[in-house]
Amino acid sequence: MIVDYYSELSKSNYWFDQNINAGIERKQYINSISGYIGNKLIKVLSGQRGCGKSFLLKQLINHLLIGGVSPRNILYINKTFTDTLLLVEKDDLQNLITLYHQKINPIGKVYIFIEEIQNIANWYELILAMSQSYSMTYELFLSSSNKCICNQTDIQASKTIINFEIMPFGYQEYLWIKGIENNKKGYNHYINNGFIYRSDGQGEAALANRLSLLKNSILYKDIIQKYRIKDAFLLENVFLYIAQHLSELISVNTIVRHLKDKGIKSSYETVASYIACLEDTFIIHRIDKYQIKSREAVTGNSKFYINMWSFIADLYPFLNYSIDMKLRNQVYLELYRHKYKVYAGVNKTKLIDFVAQKEDRVIYFQCADSINDEGLLLSLYNSLGSIQDHYEKWIVSLDDEQLPSKNGIRHIQAWNLTQIL
């Protein structure tokens, strides 16, 4: 099939005054990324598919246009190219950029935006050369659905790339977009359903189709194809086990034994590598155990949480998660958004849902959908009270009434957590 590359480029670019559908503005990301505009650093927006990276690239393009940059000095290469065989390796990308120069003939600095850069083999060699070029000035903005788009131990890479991890729409963004008040009702709806931005006029059928395409792209393009997975059936069973045991301490050996009981052949190495693939594509988050007394992280048993609730709800609608579990998943994501390093705490025989650390601040968390039961409340207080240090200790719940602090232990209503963090 003969492809008119220039025609395809023209559809996604704004050289001829096309309107930009940039979605809902995510100011916290735009403000952070735009602070780096004007230097030679390669800006990479990484995150799970469906979290809004494409819209953010368009918002950055709009930011440049408002600032006076000519649309002819902006080249936008979208997933039409990088998710197909139109661009396979760096020479294909170089040819496309050359075609842009020949057809558009931009004068001065050129801003290049490329979606899903991880699908182009050896992309870093070309992108690095362009970012450091003296004959032509380029500024590069990339998106990727993979954490390992380059070897971060490479000194040159660490000096030339700045990464911005993009999360799915958070609770505060959900409130703003929906125009609703911050209360228990809104929070419950958010943690039960998640939130994916809908374009104007997009109905339920269109959204369902979008989620189906998203699921196929993540599982096939970002994992099976990218990592050359030989056993897709085993991969899905590993993911399903994790999805069924969110917020529980599990190990690779636990999963291997479970698969063996189901008659599915696997090995420790294969299961561990498949879990790493799921982590690298941002689908799941792993947190290790943390011995509070010795202040040491312990590998082996870990807990897992889901990055995008809408994705898991669509993929496995038959999973019946408890409110407790959904609450823990959301609390973890809020801590992660706020740049805390998070562990699953162990204090002698007592388990602590989260140990969150950021710089010199440490917070211990216990979570429960309700603490109206006196026995449960006493157990939560005792587990936190048994920790013999001066750090903050919080109980997060969905109760209507906020309890006063007791022995330094605070009660936080879940929908107020973001503001307090």
Q: Which of the four pLDDT bands, split at 50, 70 and 90, describes residue 84?
A: confident
pTM of the model: 0.92
Query: Is residue 16 assigned to a domain?
Result: yes
381 vs 379: CA distance, rounded Å: 5
Higher per-residue pLDDT: 210 or 56? 56
Contacts of 419 by beta carbon, 8 Å cutoff, 6+ apart? none
Residue 235 has pLDDT above 90, yes or no: yes
Query: Is residue 337 assigned to a domain?
Result: no
356 vs 132: CA distance, rounded Å: 39
Query: Is residue 277 assigned to a domain?
Result: no
Q: Which of the four pLDDT bands, split at 50, 70 and 90, describes residue 315?
A: confident
138 vs 110: CA distance, rounded Å: 5
How many domains in the chain? Answer: 1
Question: Environment class of residue 216 by beta-carbon count within 10 Å: exposed (0-12), middle (13-18) or buried (19+)?
Answer: exposed
Query: Is residue 415 assigned to a domain?
Result: no
- Residues 85-103, mean pLDDT to the nearest whole number: 95
CB of 232 closer than 8 Å to CB of 244 = no
Query: Is residue 145 assigned to a domain?
Result: yes
73 vs 106: CA distance, rounded Å: 5
Query: Is residue 101 assigned to a domain?
Result: yes
- Residues 403-412, mean pLDDT to the nearest whole number: 94
Query: Is residue 39 assigned to a domain?
Result: yes
Residue 150 has pLDDT above 60, yes or no: no
Question: Environment class of residue 171 by beta-carbon count within 10 Å: exposed (0-12), middle (13-18) or buried (19+)?
Answer: buried
Q: Percent of the chain beyond pLDDT 90?
A: 76
Which SS3 state, helix, strand or coil, does residue 295 take? coil
- What tokens does 390 get? 């001066």
Side by side, the strands of the sheet bearing 341-347 are 296-306, 284-291, 341-347, 350-358, 361-368, 392-397, 409-413
359 vs 1: CA distance, rounded Å: 56
What mean pLDDT, rounded, does the chain reach? 91
Query: Is residue 148 assigned to a domain?
Result: yes
- Residues 140-148, mean pLDDT to the nearest whole number: 92
Strands (E) across 196-349 are located at 284-291, 296-306, 341-347
- Residues 339-365, mean pLDDT to the nearest whole number: 95
Residue 78 has pLDDT above 90, yes or no: yes
Residue 204 has pLDDT above 80, yes or no: no
- Please report the pLDDT score of residue 167 as a whole number: 95
- Please report the pLDDT score of residue 316 as a whole number: 83
Least confident of 215-229, 326-340, 368-382: 215-229
Q: Which of the four pLDDT bands, split at 50, 70 and 90, describes residue 3?
A: confident
Residue 420 has pLDDT above 70, yes or no: yes
CB of 342 closer than 8 Å to CB of 352 = no
- Please report the pLDDT score of residue 202 as a whole number: 57
- Total residue count of the chain as it appears in this document: 421
- Please report the pLDDT score of residue 213 as a whole number: 74
Residue 192 has pLDDT above 90, yes or no: no
- Domain containing 149 — which CATH number? 3.40.50.300
Q: Which of the four pLDDT bands, split at 50, 70 and 90, describes residue 305?
A: very high
Domain extent for 160: 5-166
- 12-42 pLDDT, tens digit per residue, is 999 987 788 888 899 999 999 999 999 999 9
Q: Which of the four pLDDT bands, split at 50, 70 and 90, describes residue 199?
A: low
313 vs 195: CA distance, rounded Å: 11
CB of 383 closer than 8 Å to CB of 347 = yes
